Amino acid sequence: LSIEGTIWLKIVRGSFDAIMFAEFVNGLLKNMNPYPGKNSVLVMDNCCIHQSELIWEMVKAW
């Protein structure tokens, strides 16, 4: 979400696992801009699927 609306969305039945979250983050990053541009900040809490090495590598590579 941003001040102006939704940037990327994925609806699933049931719960997310790390692989599904990685697919979501991949789509999200493709729709974000480099910092300090508009829609350039990604905020995650300490949920275990947010802490996976795969997610961190994707974000660092972006």
Give me the pLDDT at residue 49, please: 87
Confirm whether 56 is domain-assigned.
yes
In a domain, 9, yes or no: no
Share of the chain above pLDDT 70, in %: 100
Structural domain for 54, as ranges: 18-61
Domain-located, residue 35: yes
> In this predicted structure, what is the pLDDT of residue 51?
87
Note the pLDDT tens digit of each residue in 17-27.
888 999 999 99
* Residue 57, domain member (yes or no): yes
Domain annotation covers residue 13 = no
Of the two residues 2 and 55, the one the predictor is more confident about is 55
Structural domain total, the chain: 1
19-25 long-range contacts (CB < 8 A, ≥24 apart) are 21/49, 21/50, 21/52, 21/55, 22/52, 22/54, 22/55, 22/58, 25/55, 25/58, 25/59
Q: Is the pLDDT of residue 31 over 90?
A: yes
